[in-house]
């Protein structure tokens, strides 16, 4: 009789098929990648039903090419924001590296490789300046990087006198025309960096240190983590990837040139894509895969509204609404975790 009662209790406690599906779906939706993947799929299908050209090879290639540079910088930004900081100077760093490399090639006769290395060193210096002002002196990252961004953009205009710098060596055009995997070199590099960053965040001690720094800085310091070093290296990585993006952008122009307007207003697209990808403004949460989908979602909306023949002026408010929704969800999740 006791055995029968036990079997009855076990069968009663066993979840039904519907309950199992519900548990699975709740667990799936709790993952930040799924939170952005669902609207990604829904909006893609919506635009496709409006116009089948949405998924044509030409449109897909255009989306991948357009998202590559914001996505590349976003891979640095995801680490920086997980650590609890932010960088609004990335678009200006793109401009400075492109202009500086162009000046070195045209006026100093340097090769594209040497000029690019020198320009990337400059990008790293900008990252160190951001870290010094934010981490060491204590100025808020928004104010620091916004001010540095204005200064860096101004230096770009000074170097170039406000005009594109050309002609550049043929090797610049050759580099920009590379098509590994059948897509632009920028997209290929972005995918490689995304895989590396995801592995760093999920599989290494350094990734654990980044999450710990953003989740609870005091607790991280108590456990022996040098949080200042963590944030400094994240600032440097973000600026370095912004510099790489500036060089890639320059090389892929119809007539490669160091144009000071390169990257103008792109920092907002980068931040929006990262936020849509599930990275928390409060630090301590995020992933490279989610950021990839967030940046891609931005381009899906931009391209889809054109392909579906919506008013082009609706793009900005629609993207703004999506970002507000993502930020609101982030705040709600943060409050629940604090309870």
pLDDT in tens, 19-38: 665 665 555 555 666 677 88
- Give the pLDDT confidence of 139-167 residue by residue, as tens digits: 999 999 999 999 999 999 998 998 999 88
Q: The domain that contains 169 carries what CATH number?
A: 1.10.3470
pLDDT for residue 327: 78
Least confident of 50-54, 72-76, 268-272: 268-272
Beta bridge partners of 165: 258
Q: Is residue 240 domain-resident? A: yes
Residue 3 lies in a domain: no
Residue 283's closest CA among 84, 78, 32? 84
Q: Is residue 216 part of a domain?
A: yes
Cis amide linkage into residue 256, ω under 30° from 0: no
Which positions ≥6 away from 333 have C-beta within 8 Å? 280, 285
| Tally of domains within the chain | 1
Omega before residue 167 within 30° of 0, cis:
yes
- State yes or no: pLDDT of 2 exceeds 80: no
CA distance 185 to 169: 19
Residues spanned by the domain of 230: 32-338
Whole-structure pTM value? 0.88
The residue among 336 and 39 whose pLDDT is bigger is 39
Q: Which range has highest mean pLDDT (114-123, 174-183, 184-193)?
A: 114-123
Confidence of residue 278 (pLDDT cuts 50, 70, 90): confident
Q: Is residue 15 included in any domain, yes or no?
A: no
For residues 292 and 71, the answer to whether their CB atoms sit within 8 Å is yes
User: Would you say residue 6 lies in a domain?
Assistant: no
| Domain presence at residue 19 | no
Q: What is the pLDDT of residue 241?
A: 97
Report whether pLDDT(101) > 90: yes
* 33 or 285, which is more confident: 285
Residue 10 has pLDDT above 80, yes or no: no
The per-residue pLDDT for 205 is 95
For the chain, the average pLDDT equals: 87
- Does some domain include residue 2? no
Is residue 227 domain-resident? yes
């Amino acid at each position: 009789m006791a055995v029968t009662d036990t079997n009855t209790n076990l069968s009663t406690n066993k979840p039904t098929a519907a309950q199992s599906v519900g548990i699975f779906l709740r667990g799936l939706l709790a993952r930040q990648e799924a939170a952005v993947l669902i609207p990604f799929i829904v909006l893609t299908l919506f635009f496709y039903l409006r116009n089948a050209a949405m998924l044509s090879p030409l449109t897909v290639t255009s989306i991948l090419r357009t998202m590559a540079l914001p996505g590349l910088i976003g891979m640095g930004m995801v680490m920086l924001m997980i650590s609890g900081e932010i960088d609004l100077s990335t678009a200006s760093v793109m401009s400075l590296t492109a202009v500086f490399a162009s000046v070195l090639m045209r006026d100093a006769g340097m090769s594209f490789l040497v000029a690019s290395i020198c320009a990337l060193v400059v990008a790293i210096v900008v990252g160190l300046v951001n870290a010094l002002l934010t981490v060491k002196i204590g100025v808020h990252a928004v104010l620091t990087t916004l001010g540095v961004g204005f200064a860096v953009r101004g230096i770009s205009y000074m170097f170039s006198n406000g005009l594109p710098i050309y002609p550049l060596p043929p090797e610049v055009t050759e580099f920009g025309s590379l098509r590994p995997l059948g897509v632009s070199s920028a997209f290929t590099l972005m995918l490689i960096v995304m895989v590396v960053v995801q592995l760093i965040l999920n599989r290494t001690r350094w990734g654990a240190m980044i999450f710990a720094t953003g989740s609870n800085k005091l607790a991280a310091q108590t456990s022996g983590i040098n949080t200042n070093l963590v944030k400094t290296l994240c600032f440097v990585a973000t600026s370095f990837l912004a510099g790489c993006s500036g060089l890639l952008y320059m090389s892929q122009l119809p007539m490669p040139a160091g144009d000071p307007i390169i990257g103008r207003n792109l920092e907002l697209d980068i931040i929006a894509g990262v936020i849509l990808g599930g990275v928390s403004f409060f630090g301590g949460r995020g992933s490279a895969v989610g950021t990839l989908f967030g940046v891609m979602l931005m381009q899906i909306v931009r391209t889809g509204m054109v392909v579906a023949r919506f008013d082009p002026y609706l793009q900005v408010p629609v993207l703004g609404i999506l970002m507000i929704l993502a930020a609101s969800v982030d705040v709600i999740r943060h409050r629940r975790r604090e309870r």
